[in-house]
Structure 1
Amino acid sequence: MLLSSLAASISVRSCSLLLAENPTQVGTALQVFHNLGTLKDTIANVVDGYCTVLEENIKNALDIKVLTQPSQTVTRGGPGRAAMPTPGNTAAFRAALWTNMEKLMDQICAACGQVQHLQKVLAKKRDPVSHVCFIEEIVKDGQSDILYKFWTAVTQTLSSQFQSATDFTFSYMQSPEKALKDSLQQYEAAYLSKSLSRLFDPINLVFPPGGRNPPSSDELDSIIKTIASELNVAAVDPDLSLAVAKNVAKTIQLYGVKSEQLLSTQGEASQVIGPLTEGQRRNVAVVNSLYKLHQAVLKVITSQSSFPAAAEQTVTTALKAVHDLMGSAVQPLLNSVGDSVEAIIITMHQEDFSGSLSSSGKPDVPCSLYMKELQGFIARVMSDYFRHFECFDFVFDNTEAMAQRAIELFIRNASLIRPLGEGGKMRLAADFAQMELAVAPLCRRVSDLGKSYRQLRSFRPLLFQTSEHIASSPALGEVIPFSIILQFLFTRAPPELKSPFQRAEWSIARYSQWLDDHPCEKDRLALIRSSTKPAFLESQAMTLNYRGIDDSGALEAYVQSVRTREGKEFAPVYPIMVQLLQKAMSALQ
C-alpha cells in the first residue's frame, strides 16, 4: 500500500515535470515513467489532455451564440453551411471572430510547441541500462509519433467544427498544413464571397444607373485602396492570394463593363471637322479613367512581396482587357483621322507634276498644296482631340501607327504620279522633306517610325536617279518593296505602257484599296506582272532575252502596239522593268 502511494506521488510529480520547458527535467520525468513501466500510457494521456483542452478551445472560439451575442440571435444554416450573421452586425461579428481565431491559433501553437518539445526529448533520451531510445518505445508496433497523432487529432477537430468536410480523411502522405486549410474551406468560401462584395460595392456606387460620367479621381482612389487592402490581407497564403486575385480580376472586368456602357458610339464620336463634341469629351474621360485604373492596379501588384505568379497573371490578363477597351474606345476617332489623311494625300493626283525645271533649279513653293493641308490637319487633330488624353504612351502607340500608315500612303501615291516632269520631281522631293514635318506631331520622334521612316528617306533620292541606278539600288527589297519601285518605273514609260490601275481601268483610290486588301508582296507583284509580261520576240531587231515569263498581259499589248507601228525598239525603261520583275519574283522563291 505504501509502495502504491509512493508510486502515485512520484507519478504526479513526474507528470508536472513533463510540462516543463527544461529538457533535463523532462528527461528525468521520462526516466521515472520508463522505470515504472508506464511511459507509453503516460505520454498518450498527456497528448490526449492537450487535445481535449484544444477541442474545448476550438468549440468556444467558433461558438456562433457567443460570437453573435448579445445583439444577434442565432440563425442556423443548413447542413454543411457556415452560419453567418445578419448584415446589421457584420462588423462586430468579424471583429469577434478574428479575435477568437487569433487567440485560438496562439493556443494551438503553444500546445504544438509543448508536444514537439516532448518528442525531441523522447528522441534523445535513452535508458542508461538497456540503452533503448524512449521514442522507440512510443512508436513501436507501427504506431505514429506523438506529434503526428496530436496534429491529426487537432485537424480532425477543426474539420468537424468548421463543417468543411462531411467525411474527413487524413492520410499519412497528406501534409498537416493542407489538412488545416481543408478544414477551413467553408469559412474561406464565405470570406471570398464577402471580399468580392467589398470589391464590387464601391464600383456599383460610383456607376449609378443612368450615370453618364466616369468616376472622379477620389472615387477611383477608393476603389484602388480596396483592391490593395484585399490583396494585402490575402498575402499570408499563396492559395488565398490567387483566390483574391481572381476576385480582383472580376472587379476590373466589372469596371470595364461599366465604363464601356458610358462610351459614345454615335457619329459624333468620330467627327474631325469641329471641336470636341460632348460624346467625344466623355470618351476621353472614360479612356483616362481606364488608364488610371490600369496604372494604379499595375502598381499595386508590382508592390506585392512574394505575389504568386499565377495570381499576377490573373490580374495582368484582366488589365490587358482594360487596355484593349481603351483601344476600342479611341478606334473610331483614329479611323476617322486616318481616312481624312488618306483623302488628303490622294489629292496629290489633282496637282500638276508634269512641269519642267524652273530657271532657278528650285521648286517655286516649299511644298504642294495637299502637303500644306495635310500638315495643318494633323496639327489640328493632335491639338483639338488627342492632347486631352492623359495616357501619352497609349496615344503615341496609336498615332505612330497612323504616321507609319500616312508615310506608306504617301510613298504609294507618289510612285503613281504620271506624268512626272523634272520640275515635278523637284516639287515632289520637297514634299518628301515636308512629309517628315507633317507626321512629326503624331510621333515621339519621326526616326522612331522604323522601316517607314527609312523608306521615306531612301525613296527621295531615287526621284533623280536613272532607271538603271534605281534597279541596282541596295534599298530595293530590303527597305523599299520591289512593287513600289516597279510602280514608279511605269511613270517613266510612254503612255501606251499603262500602269496596272490604268490597264484595269481603276481609279487610284480603288487601286490603293486593292493594295490594302493584298498586303502580300507576292500578290502585288503578280498584279504588276500581268501588266508587264512581254511576248517572246523573235524579231532580230529586238534582241532582248525574256526567259521564263508567259506572253500575256498589258506589256504584251504594248509590244503589239510597237509591232503595229513597225517600231524597232522598246522604250528604254521596258527591259529594266522586265529584269527587275524577274529579280523580284526570284527573291520570293
Structure 2
Amino acid sequence: MLMDVVHELVTKWKSEFVSVLSSSVDIDSLTQRMRTRQKIQQGGSGPGRASLSAVGGQAAAFHVAVWTSLDGTIDKMEQLISCSRLLGLTLMKQRETHIDVCMTSIYRLDQYISELYPSLAELLIHEMLIDWQNNKNSEKYSSILLIFASANFKESLTRQEDNIDSSSAIDNSIGHKQINDNRANIRNALISNEGFLGWASDQLATKLSAVSNQSPVIKEVLEGEYPKLLKLILDLERRVTSTLSNELSNNSNCDQYTLSPIHQQTILEQLPSCLVRALHPFETAYLSRSVSRLFDRVTLAFSTSTTAGPDTNELNDIIQTAANELAYATVHHDLLYKVTRNLDKLIALFATKTETLISTGSTCAVQLTDSQTLGQQNNIHLVNLLCQFGTNLQLTVNKRLNNLNTITTSNINHKNYNKSSTFLNETFPLTTTIETTTPIKNPLQLISESTKNHLNNLCNSILNPFLLDINNKIDEILSSMHNEYDSYQNVSVNELSSKSKYLQDLQNFTARVRQQYLSDLSQPPKFVNTIPNIFTQSGCYVCGEFALQDALKPILTMCVNSYLWRSTLIRSSKESIRLKLAADYKDFELALMPLCSPNYGYTLSKLIPESYEQLRDFPSILSMENEQLIQTYAKEDSVGSSSNHLLPSLICQHMFSRAPDEIRYPHIVAGWSTNYYVSWLVKRKNDTERLVFLRNGLSAYVHEVQLRQQREYPPIYLQLKEFLDYHIGKDQK
C-alpha cells in the first residue's frame, strides 16, 4: 500500500538522522575522533614524537572535532530534506492511470471534483479525508503530511463554502459534515507542518540543548562560537533554497493548486522559523557573552585610573574588542545588528564611567583671573577622551566594514526584501522576511547615532557649566556699556574714542579665555576635511575643539541677543551716538572671534546664522530717520516689514531710545532694572509679548501727559504708536 511505503521511508529517514545527530555530539565519540586525528597528524607516538598534551591544544582539537561532526550532520540533514522533497514532488506529479481509479470521483482539499487521472498525492489525501478519525493510522498520516509540507503542498488559505452534494458521496457512510471537518483538520495540520526541515530542526535544537546542559565543553563550543553554528545553518538554508528553486523550474507541470507563484516567492525569501527557533538559545547566550566581553574591557580600563580615565593603549584595547565582536558577527546581518546594539551598550557604559570622573565644585569653578585649575584641566581632558574614543571607534568600525555594502531603508519595506540588493558584501543572505514597520538601520549608522547620543551629550554636559560662567562674565562686561554711553551724551563726535572700553575689555577677556582655559582642547586630525558641510556631520565630535564649537552655539546666541537689546537701550537721539554704536557692532563681532574656530569653518555666520543676520542688519537702521523706519518696517507695502532678521520689538525698542527723556523706557515705568529687563527680553519666545509690554509703557506715558494736561505729543510718540499698532494688529490677524 502506498501510504505504508511512504510511512516506512519517513521512519527510516528519521531514524538515520537521529543516529547521525546523536553520534555527532557524543562526547566519547568526539574524543576518540580527536585522538585519532592527532595520531595521524603526529605520525604515531614513537621516539622523538611530541604528544599534544597542552590544555589549549586539546581544547582547540576538540572544537575542530565538534564542528567537523556538526558539518557532517548538517550535510545529512540536507540530504534527507532533499529526499523528502523529491518524494513529495513525485507524488504530486505522478498520476494513477489504473482503470479502477481513473473513473472514480475523489475528495480533494479544496473542492469535490472528478479527475480522470488523479495524482498519487490526491489519492493519499482522499484516503485521509475519509479515514482521518482513525487513530491507528495517525502516525502514517503524520508522515504523509510531513512529506507534503516538505514539497510545499499548500493550497490557498482562502476558505470557500463547499458546494458538495452529499448524496453523491463515494461512501454513503461518510457524511458531508464529517468530510468538511476532516478537510479543515487536514488543511490546518498541513499549514502548521514545517516538513522534514522543521522536524529535523527541532531534533537538532533539542539534542544540542540537552548536550550543552550535560557537557560544559560542548556548551562552550556552541555558545562561544555561535557564529560558526549560524554559518552552518545559513549554508544549509542556501543549499536547500537553491535546490528547491531548481526543482521548481524542472517540475513546472505540477498540479496547479499545489504550489502557487506567491508561495514560491515566500519560500525563496523567508528563513524558516524552525531554524530560527533552533538557533535562538545559543544566539541569546552568545550575545550575553559578547556584552560581558565588552563590559569587562571597559571596566578593566577604568579600574587603572580614578581621575584621568583610560590611556591610549587601553582605549585601543576597548575599540579593538568592539571591532572584533562586529567582525565575528558579519556572517549575517541580523546577528551584526544585534551585536551593534551591544556596542551601543558599550558606548553608554563608557560614557557612564567617564561621567564619574568629572570634576565638580570648587576644583573646577571658573576663576576668570587665575590660571586653569586641576579640575578644569581634568574636565578638558575628559572631553578630549570622549572625542578620541568616539572618533577612533567609528574609524575602526568603518575599516572593518568598508568592504561591506550598507543597507538603506529603501532596500527594505514592511513586506519584502529587494532580491537584487545585497547585504554587506553579499555576506548576509536575503532570506529573512521583515515583520516590522521599523526600518533596519545600517550598523555604521547605529554606532554613529549611539556616539552622538551618549558621547556628544556628555561633552556638552562637561562644557556647559564652564561656558555659562563665561556667558555671565560677558554679560557683565556688556552691562558696562550703559554707563560708558551715558558719558558720551555730552561729548562731540571728535572726542569719542575710536574703540569703546567695554569692547576692549570683552576682547581681552575672550582672548584670555581661549589661551588659558581652552587651549588644551584637542584639535582635528589631519585627515579631517574642513569643508563647510562639516556642520552637518553626524556621529561623535571629531575633537574637543569641535565639541566646544557645538556647545558654544546657545552661549553665542545669548551673547549676541543680549548685546542687541542692550544697544537698543542706549539713548541715541544724537546722530553721533548712533554712528558710534554702528562702529561698535563691528568691534563686537571681532571680540567674539577668539571663541570661534574660523580655520575649521566655525564662524559666527555658521554657528548662529539667525542671530548673526540680526547683528549684521541692525546697524543699517541706525542711519535711518524715524520716518524712514516707519516707511520701511510699518507699512503694508514695505520691504523691511517682511524681513525675518530684525524683530519688530527690537526696532521699536530702538525707537524708544530716540525719544526725548520724558518718554521713559517701559522697563523703567515697570520698575525693572536694566539687567533684569534684558534677561526678560532674551528669554521671550513670542515677540508679540514684547510688543505688548512696549505698548503698555507707551500707554503709561500717555497717562502722564494727561495728568500734566499737556496739549501736544512729540512726533516720535505718534510714530511709536503707529509702529506698535501695525505689528500688534498684524500678529492678531
Give the TM-score normalised by the residue count of structure 1.
Answer: 0.75
Which string of whole-angstrom CA distances, capped at 9 and with x for unpartnered residues, describes residues 164-193 of structure 1?
9xxxxxxx9998721122133332222222
Matched, 1:376 2:508: yes
Equivalent positions of 1:460-475 (< 5 A) are 460-473=619-632, 474-475=639-640
- Residue 6 of structure 1 corresponds to which residue in structure 2? none
Match of 1:258 in 2: 353
1:525 equivalenced with 2:620 (yes/no):
no
How is 1:109-128 mapped onto 2 (pairs within 5 angstroms)? Answer: 109-117=78-86, 119=88
Q: Are the aligned partners of 2:33 and 2:65 in contact in 1 as well (CA < 8 Å)?
A: no
Residues 180 and 339 of structure 1: is their aligned pair in 2 closer, same or farther, counting only changes over 3 Å?
same
Match of 1:244 among 339, 354, 369: 339
Q: Distance in 2 between matches of 1:577 and 1:222?
A: 68
The CA deviation at 1:61 is 3.6
Tell me how large the CA RMSD over aligned residues is: 3.7
Separation in structure 1 between the aligned mates of residue 693 and residue 576 of structure 2, nearest angstrom: 30
Match of 1:358 among 483, 488, 493: 493
Which residue is equivalent to 1:485?
A: 651
Query: Does the Cα contact within 8 Å between 1:515 and 1:524 map onto a contact in 2?
Result: yes
Task: Select which of 537, 555, 560 maps to 2:707.
Answer: 560
Partner of 1:158 in structure 2? 204
Unpaired runs of 5+ residues, structure 1, are 1-37, 72-86, 165-171, 534-552
1:576 aligns with 2:719: yes
**For 1:331-360, what per-residue CA distance to the aligned partner results, in whole angstroms no more than 9, with x for missing partners?**
11111111111111111112133145435x
C-alpha distance in 1 between matches for 2:370 and 2:59: 54
Tell me if structure 2 keeps the 8 A contact 1:356–1:421: no
Distance change in 2, residues 1:99/1:585 (3 Å): farther
Farther-moved stretch of structure 1 (214-223 vs 383-392): 383-392
Give the superposition deviation at 1:102: 4.0
- Map residues 136-535 of structure 1 onto 2, 5 A cutoff: 141=127, 143-144=144-145, 146=147, 147=150, 149-163=195-209, 177-208=272-303, 211-271=306-366, 272-298=368-394, 300=397, 305=406, 306=423, 309=440, 312=443, 318-319=450-451, 320-351=453-484, 352-358=487-493, 364-387=496-519, 388-389=521-522, 390-418=543-571, 421-441=574-594, 442=596, 444-448=602-606, 449-473=608-632, 474-476=639-641, 478-533=644-699
From the superposition, tell whether residues 232 and 101 of structure 1 become closer, same or farther in structure 2 (CA, over 3 Å): farther
In the alignment, which residue of structure 2 is the partner of 1:51? 14
Change (3 A) 1:113 1:385: farther
Alpha-carbon offset, residue 133 of structure 1: 5.0
> Any conservation in 1 of the 2:325–2:339 contact (CA below 8 Å)?
yes
Deviation at 1:246, TM superposition (A): 3.3
Question: Could you say if the C-alpha distance between residues 522 and 371 of structure 1 is closer, same or farther in structure 2, counting changes exceeding 3 Å?
Answer: same
Comparing 186-195 with 137-146, greater Cα deviation is found at 137-146
Q: Letter of the aligned partner of 2:468 in structure 1?
A: N
Alignment-mate amino acid for residue 18 of structure 2? E
Give the match's secondary structure for 2:340.
helix
Which whole-Å CA distance do the structure 2 matches of 1:274 and 1:558 have between them? 53
1:200-230 CA-to-partner distances (Å, cap 9, x unmatched) read 1110110107621222233223222322332
* Contact residue 214 and residue 285 of structure 1 kept, 8 A: no
Once the two structures are TM-superposed, the CA of residue 516 in structure 1 deviates from its matched residue by 3.4
The Cα of 1:556 is off from its aligned counterpart by 1.8
Confirm or deny: 8 A CA contact 1:357 1:423 kept in the other structure.
Answer: yes
Distance in 2 separating the partners of 1:96 and 1:369: 83
How many residue pairs end up in the alignment? 505
Once the 2 structures are TM-superposed, how far is the Cα of residue 480 of structure 1 from its aligned partner?
Answer: 1.3
* Separation in structure 2 between the aligned mates of residue 322 and residue 123 of structure 1, nearest angstrom: 61
Query: Is contact 2:463–2:551 with CA below 8 Å preserved after alignment?
Result: no
Cα gap change, 1:430 to 1:419, in 2 (>3 Å) = closer
The CA deviation at 1:491 is 1.6
Q: Which amino acid aligns with 1:52?
A: S
For residues 578 and 93 of structure 2, the distance between their equivalents in structure 1, rounded to whole angstroms, comes to 98
Report the more deviating stretch, 229-238 or 507-516.
Answer: 229-238
Cα-to-partner distance string for 1:128-182 (whole Å, 9 max, x where unaligned) = 8887656656766453252354223312312322449xxxxxxx99987211221
CA contact (8 A) 2:572 2:578 kept: no
Partner Cα separation in structure 1 for residue 16 and residue 579 of structure 2: 98
Opposite residue 630 of structure 2, the aligned amino acid is A
Return closer, same or farther for 1:273/1:55 CA change in 2, 3 Å cut-off: farther
| CA 367–298 in structure 1, closer or farther in 2 if over 3 Å, else same | same
CA apart distance, 1:40:
5.3
Q: Distance in 2 between matches of 1:120 and 1:338?
A: 79
Opposite residue 715 of structure 2, the aligned amino acid is P
Q: Distance in 2 between matches of 1:381 and 1:101?
A: 66
Larger mean Cα displacement after TM superposition, 172-181 or 477-486: 172-181
Q: CA deviation at 1:42?
A: 4.7
Is this contact kept in 2: 1:378–1:439, CA < 8 A?
Answer: yes
Question: Equivalents in 2 of 1:347, 1:70: separation in Å?
Answer: 89
How far apart are 1:324 and its partner, in Å? 1.4
Displacement of 1:378 after TM fit? 1.9
Q: Deviations over 1:534-570 (max 9, x none)?
A: xxxxxxxxxxxxxxxxxxx244214433x2xxx4421
C-alpha displacement at 1:69, in angstroms?
10
**Distance change >3 Å, CA 315–CA 430, structure 1 → 2:** same
Q: 1:104 to 1:296 in 2, by over 3 A?
A: farther
Q: Displacement, 1:585?
A: 0.8
Q: Which runs of 5+ in 2 are unaligned?
A: 35-55, 100-116, 129-143, 151-193, 211-262, 407-422, 425-438, 523-542, 633-638
Q: What is the CA distance between 1:446 and its match in structure 2?
A: 3.1
CA distance in 1, matches of 2:463, 2:718: 49
Structure 2: how far apart are the matches of 1:162 and 1:399?
Answer: 57
The 1:95–1:280 alpha-carbon spacing in structure 2 relative to 1, beyond 3 Å, is farther
**Alignment partner, residue 23 of structure 1:** none
- Structure 1 residue 436: deviation in Å? 2.1
SS at match of 1:417: coil
